[in-house]
Amino acid sequence: MTVFSAQTLERIQYAAEIIRKSQRGVVLTGAGISTPSGIPDFRSEGTGLWSRVDPMEVATLNAFRYAPEQFYQWIRPLAVKIFAAEPNPAHRAFAQLQAAGYFKTIITQNIDNLHQKAGCSYVLETHGTFQTMSCTQCFKQISSQGFIEPYLKDGQIPYCPDCGGILKLDIILFGEQLPLQTWYESQAACRNCDLILVAGSSLEVLPVAGLPLQALDRGAHLIIVNHSPTYLSVRADVVILEDVAEIIPMIAERVLHE
């Protein structure tokens, strides 16, 4: 276990005090909360997925329309890791805090379903999900269960059982709008919260990166736990530049048991 400085421990304690006093807390998570579960992020230099391939060649909506096979070939290694991954202590700590009533809403940029696996009950997936697919011809949305297993195992591209069109995973590609209802609910949660806790997000990807600003502009507290600073670090009540899988459980322990 990492030995943290006295300053970091003080910040953990202060974060816990803010959470205990909040009435309408919101959590916003990014890729950094899932990297401890073995899921690579997209932007880290040398290890991120975009360091090895141009996203404009494989991960845009137009690229999928013209070459869906290339997209499915590219994303398969990531999909295998996602479906094999298990929640880490940060996911489980947020589930405990949510169950105790400190956070009603968890907004995530991740597509890995790990918050739900950990037991979280209300999760807004702003960048979509692997759990459903939509037909590119008849637009029917169906569960990915039954289609994802042959794809993960043998690389079989999924086709619509009704019309035969290629099924697209319901994850948001470049050039594609965010899920409208999810986005409305995310904005409403941030505009009405009195605390937003950002965990594992560099706050670089718009429009989700602007959500904490909506909360701040209405007087909410801001806690940031991330490996690197963000554009809102100067406005945060607490900034902890450490591993979320270690820090979030320590905060939760203080909130729930002190």
Residues assigned a catalytic role: 127
Residue 194: both structure tokens together: 């009195």
| Residue 82 parent element (H or E) | helix 68-84
Number of neighbouring beta carbons within 10 Å of residue 206: 8
Residue 151 and residue 86 in contact, taking contact as beta carbons nearer than 8 Å: no
Residue 232 and residue 216 in contact, taking contact as beta carbons nearer than 8 Å: yes
| Residue 63 parent element (H or E) | helix 61-66
Picking from 212, 241, 182, the residue whose alpha carbon sits closest to that of residue 26 is 212
Q: In sequence order, what are the beta bridge partners of 142?
A: 133
